[in-house]
Amino acid sequence: MKLATLRSTSPDGRLIVVSRDLRKAVDAAAIAPSLRQAIEQWDLVAPALQALSDRLNTGDASGAFDFDTTACAAPLPRCFQWCDASAFLNHGRLMERAFKTEPIPDFDTIPVMYQGASDDFLGPHDDVPLPDESLGIDFEGEFGVVVDHVEMGASPLAALERVLLLVQINDWSLRALGPREMKSGFGFLQAKPSTSFAPVAITPDELGADWRGGRVRLDLHVQWNDAWFGQPNGGEMNFDFGELIAHAARTRRLGAGTIIGSGTVSNANRAAGSACIAERRVIEMLDQGDIKTAFMRFGDRVRMEARNAEGIAPFGVVDQRVVRAGL
């Protein structure tokens, strides 16, 4: 099934069920007022949500309306925990060269992960307010999972079974602030503003064979100011989501609604392009001897859409504009 959140007076928004073709939706507040609350009692409400989804997809849902993604918040406008990894080693190695940092010990055997801000997620068409163009404004296309409760010490296989929903993410970065925060040893803070999400969260079964081995095996099509930027495939994750969840849960329990991100989708084949500007810049330096691409300016737009082989975009589209904060 496919779920989304409409903006409302509640900070968690209002839960709706969305049709498979993303054309229709129906209010689900009678089952659970918000997606956050649905996740916290998933075993109780999931059957009713699935039944409503089935009726919507057969045209039998009372009160169905046209699905308007511009009215959507992030599927989870806030959650208790958001952890982002760097599961594509191609990207990680390129970033080491970009930021001139020492290789991370055990990078190819132990996932790296930081804990980001989870109190202010952005919707798919929200403007992205940032304070200064000189901070190196960059987008980062990713996939993510929303999990049920995960016990401390869960194995990767057991952890993968706790995945409730899949999401598509734009994890904004301010590249000028990243190197100092990485060298501090305390991780990202100012370098990671509010994260954005595509409008629809989906249960793994919606992807069929494109959800396999704990990976979202879709091309993530990225456009910057209407120009093609890249379409890397999520199948090249070096660590699958089971391994990422287990890493986060090694010494703690994970609460229901925790989101785990894949990190920037990246492919070894240069022809796939990139899902972030920093990666393109370091490739330009390596392949051409000079950086040609600047970071984003106020007024720039980025569009991200994960598609399957038939061109279907199961998560919908992220399409956002960067603006000066305070205006």
3-state secondary structure of 215: strand
Mark whether 214 and 123 lie in a shared domain: yes
CA 252, CA 246: separation in Å to the nearest integer?
Answer: 10
Is residue 259 located within the same domain as residue 177?
Answer: yes
Give me the pLDDT at residue 101, please. Answer: 67
pLDDT at 100: 66
* Mean of all residue pLDDT scores within the chain: 94
Both 39 and 150 in a single domain? no
Q: Is 167 left (phi over 0), alpha (psi -120 to 50) or beta?
A: beta
> Do residues 211 and 275 share a domain?
yes
Specify the residue for token string 């330009």.
Answer: 284
Q: Say how far apart CA 120 and CA 164 lie, in whole Å.
A: 21
What is the predicted pLDDT for the residue at 98? 65
For residues 60 and 172, state if they share a domain: no
pLDDT in the model for residue 244: 98
Fill in the DSSP letter of residue 240. Answer: -
pLDDT on residue 91: 76
What pLDDT score was predicted for residue 216? 98
Task: Give the closest residue to 243 by CA, choosing from 155, 143, 166.
Answer: 155
Number of domains in the chain: 2
Is residue 153 domain-shared with residue 207, that is, in the same domain?
A: yes
Q: Which domain holds residue 210?
A: 82-324
Q: Are residues 150 and 32 in the same domain?
A: no
| One domain, residues 91 and 142 | yes
**Predicted confidence (pLDDT) per residue in 214-256, tens digit:** 999 999 999 999 999 999 999 999 999 999 999 999 999 999 9
pLDDT value at position 1? 97
Give the predicted TM-score (pTM) of the model: 0.95
Among 15, 36, 71, identify where a domain stops. 71
Q: Is residue 96 part of a domain?
A: yes
DSSP string, 85-96: E---HHHHHHHH
Q: Residue 186 has what pLDDT?
A: 77
Residue 79 CB coordination number (10 Å): 21
Q: Phi first, then psi: what are they for 146, rounded to 5°? A: -110, 125
Residue 76 domain-assigned (yes or no): no
Amino acid sitting at position 290: D
In this predicted model, what pLDDT tens digit does every residue of 41-58 receive, in sequence order?
Answer: 999 999 999 999 999 999
Tell me if 4 sits within 8 A of 43, measured CB to CB.
no
Q: Taking residues 133-149, report their average pLDDT.
A: 98
